[in-house]
Amino acid sequence: MKKDVNKVVLAYSGGLDTSVILRWLQDTYGCEVVTFTADLGQGEELEPARKKAEMMGIKEIFIEDLREEFVRDYVFPMFRANAQYEGTYLLGTSIARPLISKRQIEIAKMVGADAVAHGATGKGNDQIRFELSYYALKPDIKIIAPWREWDLNSRTKLIAYAEQHQIPVSKDKRGEAPFSQDANLLHISSEGKILEDPAVAADMDLILSRMVSPQNAPDKAEEITIDFEAGDPVAINGEKMSPATLLTKLNEMGGRNGIGCLDIVENRFIGMKSRGVYETPGGTILFQMRRAIESLTLDRGAMHLKDELMPRYAELVYNGFWFSPEREMLQAAIDHCSSVVTGQVTANLYKGNVLITGRSAPKSLYDADIVTFEEDTVYDQRDAEGFIKLNALRLRLRGRLLGR
């Protein structure tokens, strides 16, 4: 038995893996275990996790509703950056990890724990995201990652360990799950098992749980209007909503219209490629409608620079550097840029598509008097000749050198 840990805070879901980890920590480290379960909108009943922890002798149990904080302080700031990892992934799993880590460390300080533990495997990104955040928030914290220590490296071994120690195992865990899922209010990811071969089409009827497929969506478009203030959505169809309530509503609207499913192969930070199917109905609507209001309100130079910074920002979030100084620097620039992004966007939701139909803003940079094709008195078209010649100067000099 290891003796270097006195008290550990475990990120606990109540499922098979973390229940086995809980008992394994008690057996291996002989330490007191505190459980922490976060409600990030995964859609699961969390009280069974409390009862299971109590049954396993846990005295300090934390189950907390973090949905509003998750959307307000993590999802919305990330969306102000229009962040997409590798041009497609809206970072649904990635953005949940820093909040879980932050609260886990806060609880560790509160209860006097000297260690934290998580259930992420040694092959994935989550171990990196959790641990980078732990170290950023408490540099001297001890971290226990059971999947990197134990020999319970199969579902069969986990179930055998659970039965040996009288840990309840739900019947659906006794067989091989067709794929693994991770859910929160922003998205649901499905990976592994039947999805591991990227050449084989995913069975969407089996996988999709937050949305219908575009083929099964209604034949009539659904209209939606979103009001934005300083870059964040604040109302749907004229109704003011809190951040979590608004994203929940967007999920419902996007889900029934078949919006937000991606089947992608991505590059994990640890070095391997992985295939996943992601459902992000509300986030997809928000992403596209935010871009529409930005098209009216952002200066061209600011918009283009923001687009250049976005891949770096997205990579930082994906790789687990939410609490890094460089992410905070980028966030400050993005938030300054977003201060003018206020207005209203209307779109039609139709069979997997978000079709923008209108946008307006009190401080719009769009000037109909200037862009009109009709006769105007505010723009002298002859000015364009000098503009073009100045921009062509270097091209003409180079052309002469090349003998053109």
By annotation, the residues acting in catalysis are: 17, 97, 126, 180
Q: Is 210 in contact with 251 (CB distance < 8 Å)? A: yes
Residues 6+ apart with CB under 8 A from 65: 39
Measured between alpha carbons, how far is 404 from 396 in angstroms, rounded to an integer?
A: 9
Closest by Cα among 363, 349, 209, 176 to 277: 209
Residue labelled with tokens 């969407």 = 204
Strands (E), 192-290: 222-229, 232-236, 239-240, 261-267, 273-279
Give the phi and the psi of residue 171 in degrees, each rounded to 5. -60, -35
Residue labelled with tokens 């139909």 = 357
Residues 6+ apart with CB under 8 A from 117: 8, 9, 10, 11, 21, 25, 143, 144, 145, 146
Closest by Cα among 207, 174, 209, 180 to 193: 180
Helix (H) or strand (E) holding 180: strand 180-183
